Amino acid sequence: MPTNDLSSTSPQERTRSEPYLPPATQPVRAVVWVIHLALPMLGLWLLLANHDDLNIEWHDNLSHFWLIIAVAGINLVLGAMIGQASARRADARLLLVSLVFLSSAGFFLMHGLATPRIILAKGTYGFDLSQPIGLLVASVFAAVSALPLNERAAQAVLRSQVWLRGGLVALLVVWGVASLVPGLTALSSPAPPRGAGLGGFELVGVALYAVATAMMFQLHRRRPAAMLVSLVTAYALLTEAMIAGMSRHNWHLSWWLWHVLLTMAFVFVAYSAHLQFRREGTGAGLFDSVALSATVRKIRAEYEDALEELVGHIRRRAETKVPAATRLAGKFGLTEGQAAVLDRAGAALANERELSERLAALVDTGNQARVGLPERELLTRALDRVRQAYGDVRITLVSEGRVAMGSREYGPGDFPGNRPVLLDRAVVHPLTVKGQLAGALEVPVGRTPQDEALAATLASQLSLSLENARLYRELSTLFRQYMSPDVANSLLADPRTAALGGELVELTALFADLKGFTSFSERATPAEIVEMLNRYHTAAVPIILGNGGTIVQFVGDALLALFNAPAPQPGHAAAAAKAALAMQEAAEEICAGTPGYPRFRIGINTGLALVGNIGSPELRGFNAMGDCVNVAARLEGVAEPGTVVIGQSTLDQITPRPRVRSLGELALKGKEKPVHAYVLSGLS
């Protein structure tokens, strides 16, 4: 049964299962935040519930005028700054947020200009309605700005920005003329003492602000940022300001409350922008956190590209002699101090990346030093990889006791104690094999002690790789001249395969010898005998190896080859038959050119045999023993010169059925039961 008990889970598991809460939305801070937003509403309720006692009238036209003008100015600056950010980033959300501030600022200014006894003699409908209308218009922009606009919608908003801004300006101009020119419209007419309202449309604005606040808060949870917290708080305060304005007790404390809430909303955003500006020293990215997700991704990509550009510029600083952060400072609006810090940080980053690349090159060089690679290919691969990290690197091998590196030559005496030779712009490290000078590695002079240590380690790694390559070449040549390639590869890959012992394996054994070899030996000289044997074996060995066989014995004129041992081989019976027929064809060509030569006879049998190393701890050999091998030898003994005889078990494994001629049941030496044998003449 599933359970919610966390007592049995580890702290790490609980951490992974609990949702992430940014600092500004952690429980304690959230409570404080809610209290700050709830207090104004509590104050409004107290004022309205005790109208006569607390909601006193305070009539100060001049203070009202300058308060409104100051806040409208702050709002206008904020709207302009966010508008510039939207133009710089081509971001629809920033455009809509700027319109929230601009529309509020414009109608707030209209409200201030309509203050009684400043321009107009008395309070008017325009004075009462300017700010509610402004808040209602701003609520539409706020709600749309909080939506997760897709690319198509965002582009539609951006294409309409001229109409949006132009329409807002036109609306403000018309409103200003209608409300400030006496007698022109009803807006400049005196309003009732209790003030005018929007007839319930304020509730629409409250709902839109509430939706915008909730959606911006969700955005902040996904993308924590101080400016988003400020915007969430501003939207919440605008919601409360619209609620407070619905009381319409002009010049009473409840009426002043919505002025205070509006002031708090705008000043809070301005103060947050001011703090961020002081912390970062620039206004270039003040509102980037508010932008759409696509814009944020683009900004991050720009920063990543800028870092890459910075690192590349720093790497080339020796040639360019230009401060690395100069171009980026202009691109991102950085101050001189920030550019200097960025330059130092970029230099540290470049050094770190350079060190990482050199370490990676060292590891790759070791991984590429595979046993079996030719020496020149090994060094070519290493040089290609190392140059990516170290630059102009050169490797030269010794020739006639000297290493020629450009116009310079080095000998063993130039590297006492295997210490490198320091040049003006390079360091030459010796490459040694078995303690003897084998070559030299030249790398550019490093800037740090780590560079020098890595270059020395690289020289040691190349020396080891070179020594291993030469040792493997010697061992490979030696092994392959005295044993089958499969056995040699097995020993080189794992020396433990040379241990005494074996395992039972199904295989196909091929025995071949030369019929008439004894009589030929009696009439031929030793040199002629050796020449004849070498000619036959030179023809037979490549055929057996080419068909996957392993030659385990040469005994005079005879040889034993195994198929499916030591390496697994599908279709081993057919492969042995194919090799035997090809051997007879090659032997016929040799006999045709040299009359009197003996001819091959071959016996093949398939079955189980004990395969492994046989001998003593001092001397051993790879071989196979068992009835299968003995039968192959007996079949070879009954074969006529130039023919191939196979047993029943071999025939059964060759598909499709080859061309054979039955020899019937043969009584072979050492076998109690007869063996059915066939003369193989061809494969289908």
Determine the average pLDDT of the residues in 281-291: 65
**330 and 462 share a domain?**
no
Domain range holding 188? 77-279
**CB crowding 547-563: b at 16 or more within 10 Å, else e:** bbbbbbeeeebebbbbb
Determine the average pLDDT of the residues in 15-44: 50
Determine the average pLDDT of the residues in 451-459: 77
d(CA 356, CA 450): 11
Number of independent structural domains in the chain? 4
- Is the pLDDT at 367 greater than 90? The verdict is no
Q: Given the structure tokens 């200003």, which residue do they identify?
A: 176
**Residues 144, 128 contacting (CB under 8 angstroms):** no
Spatial CB neighbours of 7, under 8 Å, sequence gap ≥ 6: none
Residue 582 lies in a domain: yes
Q: Between 587 and 188, name the one with better pLDDT.
A: 587
Read off the pLDDT band of 576 (50, 70, 90). Answer: very high
pTM for the complete prediction?
0.47
d(CA 25, CA 34): 11
Residue 12 lies in a domain: no
**Which of 217, 249, 279 is a domain's end point?**
279
| pLDDT for res 349 | 63
Residue 262 lies in a domain: yes
List the structure tokens of 559. Answer: 């040889």
**146 and 187 share a domain?**
yes
| pLDDT for res 28 | 47
Residue 271 lies in a domain: yes
| pLDDT for res 683 | 92
Amino acid found at 4: N
Spatial CB neighbours of 634, under 8 Å, sequence gap ≥ 6: 603, 668, 669, 670, 671, 675
The Cα-based distances of 117 to 59, 68, 123, 195, 245 in angstroms read 12, 15, 8, 17, 22
Q: At 453, which CATH number? A: 3.30.450.40
Half-sphere exposure of 158 (CA within 13 A, CB side): 17
**Alpha helices, DSSP H, located in 114-252:** 125-145, 151-159, 161-180, 201-222, 226-245
**517 and 633 share a domain?**
yes
Residue 38 lies in a domain: no
- Is the pLDDT at 288 greater than 80? The verdict is no
Determine the average pLDDT of the residues in 421-449: 81
| pLDDT for res 6 | 37
| pLDDT for res 436 | 83
**Residues 213, 235 contacting (CB under 8 angstroms):** yes
Among residues 319, 320, 317, 338, the alpha carbon closest in space to that of 328 is found at: 338
Amino acid found at 87: A
Spatial CB neighbours of 17, under 8 Å, sequence gap ≥ 6: 9
| pLDDT for res 635 | 95
> What is the pairing mode between strands 599-615 and 501-515?
antiparallel
Read off the pLDDT band of 341 (50, 70, 90). Answer: low
Four-residue CA torsion sign, 636, 639, 644, 648: negative
d(CA 348, CA 328): 17
**433 and 510 share a domain?**
no
Determine the average pLDDT of the residues in 347-360: 67
| pLDDT for res 322 | 53
| pLDDT for res 21 | 42
d(CA 562, CA 633): 12
Q: Supply the DSSP string of 533-576, one letter for each residue.
A: HHHHHHHHHHHHHHTT-EEEEEETTEEEEEESSSS--TTHHHHH
| pLDDT for res 19 | 40
Read off the pLDDT band of 607 (50, 70, 90). Answer: very high
| pLDDT for res 5 | 38
Read off the pLDDT band of 318 (50, 70, 90). Answer: very low
- Is the pLDDT at 279 greater than 70? The verdict is no
Among residues 543, 538, 527, the alpha carbon closest in space to that of 583 is found at: 543
- Is the pLDDT at 621 greater than 80? The verdict is no
Among residues 39, 238, 204, the alpha carbon closest in space to that of 47 is found at: 39
| pLDDT for res 25 | 47
Residue 140 lies in a domain: yes
List the structure tokens of 578. Answer: 């194919």
Residue 23 lies in a domain: no
| pLDDT for res 461 | 77
**Which of 246, 279, 312 is a domain's end point?**
279
**275 and 303 share a domain?**
no
Among residues 415, 437, 416, 417, the alpha carbon closest in space to that of 428 is found at: 415
**259 and 110 share a domain?**
yes
**506 and 431 share a domain?**
no
**Alpha helices, DSSP H, located in 391-448:** none
> What is the pairing mode between strands 599-615 and 644-647?
parallel
d(CA 169, CA 554): 105
Mean pLDDT check: name the lowest of 203-217, 295-309, 468-482, 640-654. Answer: 468-482
List the structure tokens of 451. Answer: 């560079």
| pLDDT for res 676 | 94
pLDDT (tens digit, 9 = 90+) per residue, 58-114? 677 788 788 888 888 887 888 888 888 888 888 888 888 889 888 888 888 887 887
Based on its alpha-carbon atoms, the radius of gyration of the chain, rounded to whole angstroms, reads 47
d(CA 395, CA 403): 10
| pLDDT for res 8 | 40
d(CA 410, CA 528): 52
Burial of 522 (0-12, 13-18, 19+ CB in 10 A): exposed
Half-sphere exposure of 225 (CA within 13 A, CB side): 21
Spatial CB neighbours of 135, under 8 Å, sequence gap ≥ 6: 104, 107, 205, 238, 241, 242, 245
Helix (H) or strand (E) holding 444: strand 436-444
List the structure tokens of 548. Answer: 């996957």
d(CA 493, CA 310): 48
Mean residue pLDDT of the chain comes to 76
**235 and 275 share a domain?**
yes
| pLDDT for res 403 | 83
| pLDDT for res 13 | 43
- Is the pLDDT at 516 greater than 70? The verdict is yes
List the structure tokens of 660. Answer: 């054979």
Read off the pLDDT band of 333 (50, 70, 90). Answer: low
| pLDDT for res 560 | 93
Q: Supply the DSSP string of 476-536, one letter for each residue.
A: HHHHHHHS-HHHHHHHHH-GGGGSBEEEEEEEEEEEEEEETHHHHHHHS-HHHHHHHHHHH
d(CA 551, CA 543): 11
Q: Given the structure tokens 């007698």, which residue do they identify?
A: 183
| pLDDT for res 491 | 55
**332 and 420 share a domain?**
no
Q: Given the structure tokens 């091959």, which residue do they identify?
A: 600
| pLDDT for res 315 | 59
Helix (H) or strand (E) holding 331: helix 326-332
Determine the average pLDDT of the residues in 485-490: 59
Among left, alpha and beta (phi > 0; psi -120 to 50; other), residue 440 is beta
Q: Between 615 and 627, name the one with better pLDDT.
A: 627
Burial of 153 (0-12, 13-18, 19+ CB in 10 A): middle
**374 and 234 share a domain?**
no
Percent above pLDDT 70 for the chain: 69
d(CA 430, CA 467): 13
Percent above pLDDT 90 for the chain: 15
Q: Between 348 and 141, name the one with better pLDDT.
A: 141
pLDDT (tens digit, 9 = 90+) per residue, 221-274? 777 777 777 777 778 777 777 776 666 666 556 666 666 777 777 776 777 766
**429 and 314 share a domain?**
no
**Which of 307, 336, 357 is a domain's end point?**
357
| pLDDT for res 654 | 94
- Is the pLDDT at 682 greater than 90? The verdict is yes
Determine the average pLDDT of the residues in 373-378: 72
d(CA 196, CA 129): 7
Determine the average pLDDT of the residues in 533-552: 90
Q: How many CB atoms lie within 10 A of CB 374?
A: 10
Determine the average pLDDT of the residues in 288-304: 72
Determine the average pLDDT of the residues in 378-383: 74
**517 and 656 share a domain?**
yes
List the structure tokens of 287. Answer: 């509102």
Residue 585 lies in a domain: yes
